[in-house]
Amino acid sequence: MKELIDKLQAERILTKDEFVTLLTSFTDEDSRYLFSKARALTDELFGKKIYLRGVIEFTNYCRNDCFYCGIRKSNRNLERYRLKKEEILACCENGYKLGFRTFVLQGGEDPWYSLDKMIDIVSSIRKAYPDCAITLSIGEKKFEEYEQLFQAGANRYLLRHETADFNHYQKLHPPNLKAENRQRCLRDLKKIGYQVGPGFMVGSPYQTPENIVEDLLFIKELDPHMVGIGPFIPHKDTPLAPFPQGSLELTLILLGILRLMLPNAMIPATTALGTVHSKGRELGILAGANVVMPNLSPVEVRDKYSLYDNKICTGEEAAECRFCLENRIKGIGYEIVVDRGDYRRIVQ
Ligand code: 5AD
Ligand code: FES
Average pLDDT over residues 78-102: 98
Does a structural domain hold residue 243?
Answer: yes
Which pLDDT score, from 0 to 100, does residue 216 have? 98
Q: How far is the CA of 2 from the centre of ligand 1 (A)?
A: 32
- b/e for 7-25, b at 16 or more Cβ within 10 A? bbbeeeebeeeebbbbbee
Does a structural domain hold residue 346?
Answer: no
CB-ligand 2 contact for 320 (6 Å cutoff) = yes
Cβ atoms 329, 293 nearer than 8 A: no
Cβ atoms 246, 201 nearer than 8 A: yes
Could you tell me if residue 99 is left (phi over 0), alpha (psi between -120 and 50 degrees) or otherwise beta?
left
Strand order in the sheet with 133-137: 54-59, 102-107, 133-137, 156-158, 195-197
Cβ neighbours, 10 Å, residue 147? 17
238-290, pLDDT tens digit by residue?
Answer: 999 999 999 999 999 999 999 999 999 999 999 999 999 999 999 999 999 99
**Shortest-distance atom of ligand 1 to CA 238:** 10
Average pLDDT over residues 11-35: 97
Cβ atoms 27, 249 nearer than 8 A: no
Does a structural domain hold residue 16?
Answer: yes
Provide, rounded to the nearest whole percent, the portion of the chain with pLDDT above 70.
100
Q: How many helices (H) and strands (E) does the chain have?
A: 14, 10
Does a structural domain hold residue 140?
Answer: yes
Work out the pLDDT band at 329, boundaries 50, 70, 90.
Answer: very high
Does a structural domain hold residue 294?
Answer: yes
Which pLDDT score, from 0 to 100, does residue 1 have? 84
105-164, pLDDT tens digit by residue?
Answer: 999 999 999 999 999 999 999 999 999 999 999 999 999 999 999 999 999 999 999 999
Question: Domain total for the chain?
Answer: 1
Average pLDDT over residues 162-169: 98
Does a structural domain hold residue 6?
Answer: yes
Does a structural domain hold residue 63?
Answer: yes
Does a structural domain hold residue 347?
Answer: no
Residue 61, pLDDT above cutoff 90? yes
177-206, pLDDT tens digit by residue?
Answer: 999 999 999 999 999 999 999 999 999 999
Domain containing residue 121:
2-337
Of the CA atoms within 13 Å of residue 47, those in its CB half-sphere come to: 6
Cβ atoms 264, 45 nearer than 8 A: yes
**Shortest-distance atom of ligand 2 to CA 321:** 1
CB-ligand 2 contact for 317 (6 Å cutoff) = no
DSSP states along 59-111: E---S---TT-TT-TT--SS---B--HHHHHHHHHHHHHTT--EEEEEE---T
CB-ligand 1 contact for 308 (6 Å cutoff) = yes
CATH number at residue 302: 3.20.20.70
64-84, pLDDT tens digit by residue?
Answer: 999 999 999 999 999 999 999
CB-ligand 2 contact for 249 (6 Å cutoff) = no
Residues 6+ apart with CB under 8 A from 205: 67, 68, 171, 172, 232, 240, 243
Q: How far is the CA of 43 from the centre of ligand 2 (A)?
A: 24
**Shortest-distance atom of ligand 1 to CA 199:** 17
